[in-house]
Amino acid sequence: MKEINKKIKKKIAFILPSLNVGGAERVTLSIIKALDKDKYTPILITFNSKGPLHKEIPSSVRLYSVEGMRLRYSIIRLVKLIVHLQADCIFSTLGYVNFAILILKRLLRLKARIIIRESSTPSRVLERYPAYKARLYKLLYRRLYPWADLIIAQCDKMRQDLIKNFGIKPGKVVRIYNPVDTAVVLSKANAFFPGEYKGGRINIAAVGRLVPAKGYDLLLRAFCRLLEYEPKAHLYIIGDGPLKIELAELCRSLRLEKKVSFLGYLDNPYPYIMHADLYVLSSRWEGFPNTLLEALVCGAKVVATDCDSGPREILGDEKYGMLARVDELSLCMKMKQYLKANNRTSNRGFDFSLERIIGKYQRVFDRVLS
C-alpha cells in the first residue's frame, strides 16, 4: 500500500532565484511546509542556496541549487535539472523566472504543468521602467503568460490588471491571498519587549526592504510633519536595502536623527510590530504586502497607503485600519488621526492564516494536475 501511495503522489518543483528574505520567498516556503505530503512531493530549486531563509526549509524537502547568481548563468544547469526531475508541476513566482520557465516549456516540450504566481501588479511595476523595456515586458506578458496552465494573482486588483492590461483570459487567472503562519508570528511576537520602546514615547514601526517601492522617503517626510502634532513620536524602520545611505541623508536633512531609528534587517521584527502604537506601510505600489498581514495578526493599529495593490482589500475599505493617499500630507493626517482612535484590527489577520489559504493552493494543484 505504501508503494502505491508513493506512485500516485504528485511531484511539484518550486523555483526560487534565492533564499534571501522577500515576500515571494516566504510565501513559497510557507506553501511547501503546509502541503499535504501524502498527496504531493515538494522539491525546491534555487539559483543560490545561501541566504537567511535556508534554515526554514524542512529537512524532508529536497533542495537543488544550480549555484548561479543570475538566471542567464544558470539556465543550462536548470534545464538539465528540470529534465532530470520529471516533475508533474513547476511552480514559479518571480517575473523574469516565470518568462524563462514558460519559454523552456515550449522549447523542451515539457509535460509538466506550469503554475505562475504573479508577485506584483505588472502595470505599476512597468511604469518605473524605461519605455523600451516596458514595451518589451508587456509583450512578454501578453505572449508568454497564456502558455501557463494557471496564473495565481495575490488579490482581485492584480487579477484584473492581468486580464485588462495584458489580455489574459479570466478563466486562467485565480486569486489566492498570501498565507500567514499565524502561530509562528504570534510566538515570535511574544518573545520579548523591545528595549528601544521607552516609556512616554509614541512608538511607530515600519518593516520592509529599503527600496523605492516601499516609499520610505514619503514616510520620513510624513513623520516629520507628524512631529508638529505628536512631538513624543519615534519612528523605527526595520529592514535593509540599496536606499539605506540615501534615506539616512534625508533623515539628517529633515533633522530627524534623534527621532528615527534604522534597525536594519531583524530575524524577528514582530515584537516591534506588536508593541508599537502604530504600524505604517508607506508603499508606492505593492503586490500583496505580507508585513501588513503580519501586523494585523499582531493586533497592531495599521495605517497604509492606498496603493496598487492589496492594502485596500486587506483593510476591507478601512474597516480594519486606515488608508492614506500616496502623499506625505495624507499619510501624516491618517497617522495623527489613528493614534487618537480606537483599534479597528479585530481578528482580520486570521482571515489569511496558512490553514485557510493552503486549502486553496491544494485545490489549484489538484485542478491543474487532474
**Shared-domain flag, residues 174 and 219:** no
Distance of CA 240 to the CA centre of its chain: 15
Residue 254's Cβ-count burial label (10 Å; 0-12, 13-18, 19+) is: middle
User: Domains in the chain: how many in total?
Assistant: 2
**Shared-domain flag, residues 132 and 254:** no
- 334 near 303, Cβ under 8 Å? yes
What sign does the dihedral 301-304-308-312 (CA atoms) show? positive
CATH at 165: 3.40.50.2000
**Shared-domain flag, residues 159 and 301:** no
**Shared-domain flag, residues 309 and 163:** no
**Shared-domain flag, residues 174 and 200:** no
C-alpha distances in Å from residue 25, one per residue of 17, 54, 189, 309, 369 = 9, 10, 21, 19, 23
**Shared-domain flag, residues 358 and 348:** no
**Shared-domain flag, residues 343 and 358:** no
pTM of the model: 0.90
**Shared-domain flag, residues 257 and 342:** yes
Domain of 162, in residue numbers: 2-179+354-369
**Shared-domain flag, residues 17 and 141:** yes
**Shared-domain flag, residues 60 and 88:** yes
> Tens place of pLDDT for every residue, the chain, 370 residues?
444 444 579 999 999 988 888 888 999 999 999 999 999 999 999 988 888 888 989 989 999 998 766 666 678 888 889 889 999 999 999 878 899 999 999 998 889 999 999 988 899 889 989 999 999 999 999 999 999 999 999 999 999 999 999 999 999 999 999 999 999 999 999 999 999 998 889 999 999 999 999 999 999 999 999 999 999 999 999 999 999 999 999 999 999 999 999 999 999 999 999 999 999 999 999 989 999 999 999 999 999 999 988 999 999 999 999 999 999 999 999 999 999 999 999 999 999 999 999 999 999 999 999 8
**Shared-domain flag, residues 249 and 270:** yes
**Shared-domain flag, residues 124 and 170:** yes
